Structures are given as structure tokens and as C-alpha cells.
């Protein structure tokens, strides 16, 4: 299809086409290519920030794991699932900002995961800011044994920086 779209993993290409249709941008190959470039930029920024924040990537995260986790969805949304405290978690969902079919952001304290979080599957919540997400592309947790407070701080900082960077990328789409 195009230079950037062809760099995206096959299992995500259809998702990028769907985002293009619901983005408010013209439904054409040029818009799909712009969204594909933005997706690649977000993936790179996510990987760099995870490394910088001393986090490690996982392929799955068990719902009973007491650590906090940050995840990047196929559509470029972020899910910050805080560490488990008294069997619940604080969860923040931040969308990519250009879709009209999902909330820009949602927060729910005392959330409960419905199931494990796995790459290529939606994250689902028994109680949460959203019922489910688009499929998960990347999952990361803090390395080592660190306190709940340190995890929360790291996850929050990471989410804020990534959200800001993702918003800048989205602004380039809107101004294109």
C-alpha cells in the first residue's frame, strides 16, 4: 500500500485501515499512510520510554500479578493498570485522540481485570474505565522489586510523557 503502512505488522494493518475510516480524515490511502506513520512513531517512542524508565516488556501479564503494567494497543491507545492494592487497581485509559468511536481518556479507581492481559488480545475489565480495549501490542512492567508507590510514580510519569508525545504526533495528522 505505502512506505509506512507496509512496515506495520500484518496483524495490525486492518486495524490501521479501520482507524483511518473513523479518524475524521479523508477515507483514502494518503490518510491511511499518515496514520501508519504516526503508529510507527508511537511504537518507537513507547519502546524508547520503556527502556528509559527501566521497564521490561512482557508477552502476557497475569491478572493476579500484583505489579502495575502499561500497555500499548494496536490503535495506539495507552492503558495504565496500577499495582494491585487490596485486590483492586487504579486504571487510566488514554485513547489515540483521533478516533471518534472511543473516549479520549477515562480513569477508574478500584478496577478489576477480567482476565490476563495478552499481546494480540483485548484487555478486558470486570470493573474499569472501559469494558475492553483494542488488541494489545506491547506490555511493560517495572523491573525488579519496587514499592507500590514507586511503581505508581513510574507508570504515571511514563503515561504522561507518552500521552504528550502521542498528542504531538496526532497534531501532525490533524494539520496534514
Write the DSSP assignment of 8-76 as a string of letters.
Answer: S-HHHHHHHHHHHHHSSS-SSHHHHHHHHHHHHHHHHHHHHHHHHTTEEEESEE-TT--S-EEEEETTS
What integer pLDDT is reported at residue 170 of this predicted model? 80
The domain total for the chain is 1
Per-residue pLDDT, 2: 81
Average pLDDT, the chain: 90
The reported pTM is: 0.89
3 state DSSP class of 156: helix
Q: How far apart are CA 168 and CA 154, in angstroms?
A: 21
- Render pLDDT for 22-79 as a digit per residue (tens, 0 to 9): 777 888 888 889 989 999 999 999 999 999 999 999 999 999 999 999 999 998 889 9
Give me the pLDDT at residue 97, please. Answer: 55
Q: Across residues 86-113, what is the average pLDDT?
A: 80
pLDDT at 76: 86
pLDDT in tens, 110-132: 999 999 999 999 999 999 999 99
Angle, nearest 10°, between helix axes 29-52 and 148-174? 150
Range of the domain at 85: 1-176
Q: Quick one: pLDDT at residue 174?
A: 64
Amino acid at each position: 500500500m505505502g512506505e509506512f503502512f507496509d512496515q506495520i505488522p500484518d496483524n495490525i494493518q486492518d486495524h490501521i485501515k479501520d482507524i483511518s475510516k473513523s479518524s475524521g480524515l479523508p477515507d483514502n490511502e494518503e490518510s491511511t499512510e499518515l496514520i501508519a506513520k504516526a503508529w510507527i512513531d508511537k511504537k518507537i517512542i513507547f519502546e524508547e520510554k520503556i527502556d528509559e524508565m527501566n521497564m521490561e516488556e512482557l508477552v502476557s501479564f497475569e491478572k493476579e500479578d500484583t505489579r502495575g503494567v502499561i500497555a500499548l494497543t494496536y490503535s495506539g491507545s495507552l492503558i495504565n493498570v496500577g499495582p494491585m492494592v487490596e485486590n483492586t487497581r487504579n486504571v487510566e485509559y488514554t485513547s489515540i485522540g483521533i478516533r471518534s468511536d472511543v473516549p479520549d481518556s477515562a480513569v477508574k479507581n478500584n478496577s478489576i481485570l477480567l482476565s490476563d492481559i495478552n499481546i494480540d488480545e483485548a484487555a478486558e475489565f470486570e470493573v474499569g474505565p472501559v469494558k475492553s480495549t483494542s488488541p494489545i501490542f506491547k506490555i511493560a512492567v517495572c523491573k525488579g522489586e519496587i514499592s507500590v508507590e514507586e511503581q505508581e510514580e513510574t507508570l504515571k510519569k511514563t503515561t504522561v510523557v507518552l500521552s504528550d508525545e502521542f498528542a504531538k504526533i496526532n497534531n501532525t495528522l490533524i494539520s496534514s
